[in-house]
A and B are shown apart, each in its own frame.
With several copies, the nearest count.
Chain A
Amino acid sequence: MEAVLDAAFFRRWLTRVTAVVEREATALTELDSAIGDADHGSNMRRGFDAASAAVDSEPPDTPGGVLTAVGRQLISKVGGASGPLYGTALRRAGRALGGEPRVSAEQLRDALGAAVDGVRDLGGAAVGDKTMLDALVPAVEAYGAALERGADLAGALDAAAAAARDGAEATIGLRARKGRASYLGERSVGHQDPGATSTSLLVAALADTAREAS
């Protein structure tokens, strides 16, 4: 059975992401310690804990509502670079999904595109700058391409997750041009970007949520 993209789906995704971030927080902080300031794990954990708590206490009844609420929490609880960037990404995605109780795989594609635009507009980074965009952009592209090829939601999200993971890994070879890691110049090469890594976790959680439902 094909997964249904309703509010419950995105709440399950949120629960999963919160658990994954909890589990991976130390690893994310470790990555951030090599080329940043050793806080990405705690930032993500603080944000998703707050988002889970907010959504649990006042559950929105649309997919857009869930994503917007998560985005708002990330903005007002995280700080740092990742807080406003992820927060804006999710708010834009939520806004793109509008007030519908269920959305289609195609609508999700557009929402993901809006998320990319949000990160680009606010942070001014491009693909190749060694940021979360290096996982997010390939993920969104792979998702769209898979849908084009006729994949179902779970299949397309699997493609997205694989692309995100590859994108995150490929940041190892990149020299950072945005964010804190850019201060290191050449010395940023050889380390995986923490934000790209957390993005790949968020996308993998989407795929897992879809697979679990189908």
Chain B
Amino acid sequence: MKMLINVPETVVSDALRGLAAAHPELTVDVQNRLVVRRDAPVADKVGVVSGGGSGHEPLHGGYVGMGMLDAACPGEVFTSPVPDQMARATAAVHSGAGVLHIVKNYTGDVLNFKLAAELAEDEGIDVRQVLVDDDVAVTDSTHTAGRRGTGATLFVEKVAGALAEAGAPLDRVAATARKVNECSRSFGVALSACTTPAKGSPTFDLPPGELELGVGIHGEPGRERRGMMTAQEIADVALDAILEDLPPGGPVLLLVNGMGGTPLLELYGFSSHVQRILGQRHVGVARTLVGNYVTSLDMAGASVTLCRADEELLRLWDAPVRTPGLRWGC
């Protein structure tokens, strides 16, 4: 597979240099792999930190800014960052009001953030953690590392960021972030595998005419391989899986997320089927986002995330946000 890179070893630092040059409103520490709001720490504000392997851009570095994350720690491609990064990020955004860690539920992320929280607490920083585990494709949770964190990460980061920006205390920011996660479910599908720079070839073989249902965002195969399906059939399978598990409630936030290699034209078409089916099942859609938000390098495919949103969540969702990857209201 061909890539627009120099050498695999410098992919992450090169991207960080590019991010720094394009976004003077961010402080990018290429050496230590940190992306931080330039005005951090914001006085009396809870710091919101996330991080994870690279390859999911704009997640997480692209969501640093007013109304969302205060800092992000990008790891190597598909490899969670190390505790030193997270501890540094935590110290950089700590104003005294404590720091929330938003952690996608993968063994590596969980373990490294755990060690980081210990380091930060040694420095006297009050840290809370919220785990994102929204992927319903992973069903059998007593026999797995638990559900993966995927699309809902965007919702959690946006809502927690808005609440922190509004001056809420750490416990409330953490509780609301957890609520967002609990109200969110996702399901993903891959039409092709992705290619990591280090491996240089697709992470799995997907013959023409087949797709993977229930994939994550790290190029791992899904739960099931099937013959090629139409967009409408895929939307049906995804929504069946999601709605079976989604807590009941009011209207939803809808994210129709591209995995990176699927054209926006197809994503919007896919989204039309998702919306139609939701209509048939009497699920109201309060807000919709269609695009590449939580990606898996060049993988072709998409995921759907629904979040039951009450008035408060909608208000926080609509609050101004100013980041490279998500921006409105300012």
Q: Which residues of A contact B (CB under 8 A)?
A: 29, 33-39, 41-43, 46, 75-85, 122-123, 175-180, 182-185, 187
Contact = CB atoms under 8 A, between A and B. Distances in A.
Nearest to A131: B107
B203 interface: yes
A182 B114 CA distance: 21
A178 B148 CA distance: 12
Interface in B78-122: 78-84, 106-108, 111-112, 114-115
B188 to A, nearest CB: 11
24 contacts: A36-B218, A36-B220, A37-B218, A39-B76, A43-B79, A75-B82, A76-B82, A79-B76, A81-B111, A84-B115, A85-B111, A122-B114, A123-B107, A175-B143, A176-B144, A178-B107, A178-B144, A180-B106, A182-B145, A183-B145, A183-B216, A183-B220, A183-B223, A187-B221
A178 B198 CA distance: 24
Nearest to B138: A183
Interface of B: 53, 75-84, 106-108, 111-112, 114-115, 137-138, 140, 143-145, 148, 196, 198-199, 203-204, 216, 218-221, 223
B144 A123 contact: no
Contacts of A38: 78, 196, 198-199, 203, 219
Nearest to B224: A187
B323 to A, nearest CB: 24
Contacts of A184: 220-221, 223
A43 B106 CA distance: 16
B120 to A, nearest CB: 15
A79 B77 CA distance: 11
A42 B77 CA distance: 10
Given A37-B219, A175-B143, A79 B75 contact: yes
Given A33-B219, A84-B115, 7 more contacts: A37-B220, A76-B84, A123-B107, A123-B111, A177-B144, A180-B106, A187-B223
Contacts of A36: 218, 220
Contacts of B198: 29, 38-39, 41-42
